[in-house]
Amino acid sequence: MSLDPRLDPFRTRLSVENAAMLLIDHQEGFFPGIKSIETADLRNNIIATAKLAARTGMPTVLTSSFAQGINGALMPEITALFPDLSVINRHMVNCWEDPAYVAAVKATGRKKLIMSALTTDVCLVFPAVQAVREGFEVYCVLDASGAWSKRAEDACILRMNNAGCIMTTWVSVAAELLHDHLGPYKEPIQSVFNEHLFGYTAQDAGGMSRAA
């Protein structure tokens, strides 16, 4: 017996075909103050998350907050992955209060949103909670986000979780997008594992084949 869909709003898995990647405010000026995760790990995880979208062709929206000021420009590794994608630079703290940004997200046609941001306690929590209120299914990539302190991040995780957001990591997102080791996204996603999941090398499926 299947569940009433009204009681099971997350009944379809995350996929390249139904999700959009929202990379929010991964700007150079934030890194010195992030204390909830080591800088090298954070940069690695952000780049891995961005590569998942770039290499699978997932719709992506980039935004920066007051880039001309202390926050600085987006990480160059991100803009290099999306050379044809414009960055929506805004003055609003909450990107979900910027009409151009919300229009760009809605233009993707996707209801599942994969979000990561600097910082977790400002640039992630505000749009994540608001998007859920507007009927989107939001996946918060916590290890591709960071906060000023562990306590600040913990508080915002509780807030996002209570609002209905889904807490996740870049590896979990990648595995859900992969879904099938013989599927169409095995090569792009395996390449991200090989480059960013240290200690693990994804091998080609080799002689494996589908059952008739």
Q: Locate the domains of the chain by residue range.
A: 17-194
Res 50 pLDDT > 50:
yes
* Confidence category of residue 200, pLDDT binned at 50, 70, 90: confident
What is the predicted pLDDT for the residue at 22? 99
Res 38 pLDDT > 80:
yes
Mean pLDDT (whole number) for 86-109: 98
For the stretch 117-135, pLDDT in tens is: 999 999 999 999 999 999 9
Q: How far apart are CA 171 and CA 55, in angstroms?
A: 15
What is the predicted pLDDT for the residue at 201? 78
Mean pLDDT (whole number) for 10-16: 86
What is the predicted pLDDT for the residue at 47? 99
Mean pLDDT (whole number) for 143-155: 98
Q: Which has more pLDDT, 144 or 207? A: 144
Half-sphere CA count of 158, side-chain side, radius 13 A: 6
Fold of the domain built from segment(s) 17-194:
Rossmann fold (3.40.50)
Residues with a catalytic annotation lie at 123
What is the predicted pLDDT for the residue at 203? 67
Res 208 pLDDT > 70:
no
Mean pLDDT (whole number) for 101-105: 99
- Report the percent of the chain where pLDDT is more than 90: 87
Q: Which has more pLDDT, 198 or 31? A: 31
What is the predicted pLDDT for the residue at 82? 99
